[in-house]
Amino acid sequence: MARPDRKPVAVGTRLIALNKPYDVLSQFTDANISAARRTLSEFVAVPHVYPAGRLDRDSEGLLLLTDDGRLQARIADPRFKLPKTYLVQIEGEPDAAALDHLRRGVQLTDGMTRPAEARRIDPPALWPRDPPVRFRKSVPDCWIELTIAEGRNRQVRRMTAAIGHPTLRLVRWRIGDWSLDGLAPGEWRDLPYPG
């Protein structure tokens, strides 16, 4: 029984948008102590929030954190088909057929992907990456915007590789209605709680 002199702690009321920098794990601790890898604890000192989904160490961009397990599942679980939009710098210049292949779905080792939205875009005005993407004069690159509604392991990288255009840089820009707008790498902000 709750004591009347104590206020209940509000649970499930925090939603945070973080611009996860390159080379940072999507977790607060690292079991591999000898490697000294960077984690979310370097950027977010908010207790009891956890990532809603993952973003690979070599990817950048929007990571949502919450203290609400149900919201965390709703954001991360592919059954809810929450669209995720990525800005992707790829090697080479895909033709219309390659982009159409992404739109129809790509056969990966773990099965066919759902159809995606894909289009070429001008190079976005992003922060410099540290370390920078390697530049090769003899190999052109370009940017695409890719929106998927599932979240397989390293899916975007595997999709671009499957059409012959390996990913050089990957930035998640949007999850559902939440966007990275206005956040520099390592910065975070509270979002209105959708509950």
CATH of the domain at 136: 3.30.70.1560
DSSP secondary structure of 95-118: -HHHHHHHHH--EETTEEPPP-EE
What pLDDT, on a 0 to 100 scale, did the predictor assign at position 31? 79
The Cα 54–Cα 30 span in angstroms is 14
What pLDDT, on a 0 to 100 scale, did the predictor assign at position 1? 38
Q: Does 54 lie in the same domain as 35? A: yes
- The amino acid that residue 129 corresponds to is R
What pLDDT, on a 0 to 100 scale, did the predictor assign at position 32? 74
Q: Does 186 lie in the same domain as 167? A: no
Domain span at residue 117 reads 83-175
What pLDDT, on a 0 to 100 scale, did the predictor assign at position 185? 97
Q: Choose, from 23, 30, 56, 77, the residue flagged as catalytic.
A: 56
Query: What is the count of structural domains for the chain?
Result: 2
Q: Does 137 lie in the same domain as 92? A: yes
181 is catalytic: no
What pLDDT, on a 0 to 100 scale, did the predictor assign at position 77? 82
Global pTM exceeds 0.85: yes
What pLDDT, on a 0 to 100 scale, did the predictor assign at position 33? 67
What pLDDT, on a 0 to 100 scale, did the predictor assign at position 27? 92
Structure tokens at 6: 């104590």
Q: Is residue 3 part of a domain?
A: no
What pLDDT, on a 0 to 100 scale, did the predictor assign at position 134? 84
Q: Which of 56, 43, 55 lies closest to 16, judged by CA? A: 43
Q: Residues in the chain with pLDDT < 70?
A: 1-12, 33-34, 195
